[in-house]
Amino acid sequence: MTQTTQHTLRSILVTGGAGFIGSNFVRMILAERPGVRLVNYDALTYAGNLESVADLDAHPNYTFIRGDICDSAKVDETLRRHGVDTIIHFAAESHVDRSILSAAEFVRTNVMGVQTLLSVAMAAGVERFVQVSTDEVYGSLGAEGKFSETTPIAANSPYSASKAAGDLLCRAWFHTHDYPVLVTRCSNNYGPWQFPEKLIPLMIIKAMGDGELPVYGDGKNVRDWIHVEDHCRAVLTVAEQGRPGEVYNIGADNEWANIDIVKTILKILGKPESLIRYVKDRPGHDRRYAIDPAKIHGELGWKPQIQFEQGLAATVRWYQQNEPWWRRVMSGEYMNYYEKNYAPKM
């Protein structure tokens, strides 16, 4: 059995804690680690929303700071002022379709942002750095096989290429500077507070309003879905018990073709399949992702808890009950993006 390490979290900086996964993570830490002080550092891009963490404002261990991860002076000041011992790095440009329309922000945040954080964190004496990454760095699978931690990096989209570059910088900081970095690579997340540009919330909201559901290509691309709370618990496990320098894949052994997810959502909502529109495919669309989570199971004892059909039904209910939230985040900038991405496809 491989030796694990035990790291005690005392004062942590969570980047991107106003986004989908980050906000779920912040909520989980404040509820389950009462001794931990937490700074949520987020630039509040189109994807970051303070309403997603408004219920945490009064928590005595919680501070929000609006800041860019590329702003080294602000990161440095924040780390020192709050005596940060651990960084959990979620902040990113995260949507593949946006990276196809324009890649510049992806390189800035996902590559230069990681370099900035690593440099400043090391100089400030931060003891541990967790890079939250993605299975998309491994590229695309055929009908068989799964991604393991030793699968070669073969990123195919500007998004995944920028995340892979960030991961390689983390690897370099460990090997060159002996800096304690850990990397997690998770499959597709679903759950509450996800920005409705992503497949599951977009299809729920379109179906609720009897709109057209845009399915790319033949709808048979496969993704491996995990509930966001299971992902967050896995990241916490890696932060507390993982071995520096290691990569940990995170997944729930839950592969679905896109079209089957879309049909399931329609069924939950009692809507007809005639709402489905097959549209022009995403350029460079990866065919299949599937994670082999054996390492995190065996070494750290983490296992997912949320069964997909129940988690999906609860997620549909959440979007039904939180209409003011998604209506607000879908206004303004989002509408311009939607026009640009879907107009040539529909």
Give me the residue label for tokens 């860019």: 68
| Alpha carbons 35 and 60: distance in angstroms, whole number | 11
Q: Annotated catalytic, 127?
A: no
What tokens were used for 200?
């599951």
Under rule CB under 6 A, residue 126 binds ligand NAD = no
Nearest to 260 by CA among 189, 341, 200: 200
What tokens were used for 77?
């000041």
Q: Which stretch binds ligand NAD (CB under 6 A): 26-34, 183-191, 259-267, 307-315?
A: 183-191
Q: Annotated catalytic, 135?
A: yes
Task: Using the minimum distance from each CB to ligand NAD, give the nearer residue, 66 or 177.
Answer: 66
Encoded amino acid at 197, one letter: E
| Alpha carbons 278 and 51: distance in angstroms, whole number | 34
Task: Tell me how far, at minimum, the Cβ of 70 lies from ligand NAD, in Å.
Answer: 6
Task: Using the minimum distance from each CB to ligand DAU, give the nearer residue, 134 or 241.
Answer: 134
Task: Tell me how far, at minimum, the Cβ of 223 lies from ligand NAD, in Å.
Answer: 9
Judge whether 225 and 308 are in contact, CB under 8 Å: yes
What's the longest Cα–Cα distance across the chain?
57
Count the Cβ atoms, other than its own, within 10 Å of residue 114. Answer: 29
Per-residue contact string for residues 205-244; x = within reach of ligand DAU by CB under 6 A: ---------xxx----x-x---------------------
From the list ligand DAU, ligand NAD, none, partner contacted by residue 18 (C-beta under 5 to 8 A by kind) = ligand NAD
Count the Cβ atoms, other than its own, within 10 Å of residue 318. Answer: 17
Q: Which stretch binds ligand DAU (CB under 6 A): 66-74, 93-101, 166-174, 318-326?
A: 93-101
Q: Annotated catalytic, 159?
A: yes
Binding stretches for ligand NAD (CB under 6 A): 15-16, 18-22, 42-45, 47-48, 68-70, 90-94, 109, 113, 132, 134, 163, 186, 188-189, 195
